[in-house]
Amino acid sequence: MITDTELYRLAIVLGSAAMVLIILYHFFEVNSGEEQSEALKEKASRKGAPQNTQGSTKTR
């Protein structure tokens, strides 16, 4: 059987691990937004200059 002290230590360890994982998740989530917004800005600037993406328009 598990003692009260072991249960207390287990709760502290698991709670601390959960908090660390939550902080890491938010850190990565906040920092990944910058890369996505840069990619969107590049995509928007490319739309401004028309490019032929459907192949050649030459006739034979």
- Domain extents for the chain? 4-46
What is the pLDDT at residue 27?
95
> Which residues have C-beta within 8 Å of that of residue 2, sequence separation ≥ 6?
10
pLDDT along the chain (60 residues), means of 10: 97 99 96 75 78 62
Rounded Cα distance, 29 and 43, in Å:
21
pTM, full prediction = 0.53
For the chain, the straight-line distance linking the first and the last C-alpha, in angstroms and rounded, comes to 86
3-state secondary structure of 36: helix
Q: Indicate the average pLDDT of the chain.
A: 84
Residue at 46: amino acid letter: R
What is the pLDDT at residue 46?
85
**DSSP class of residue 12?**
H
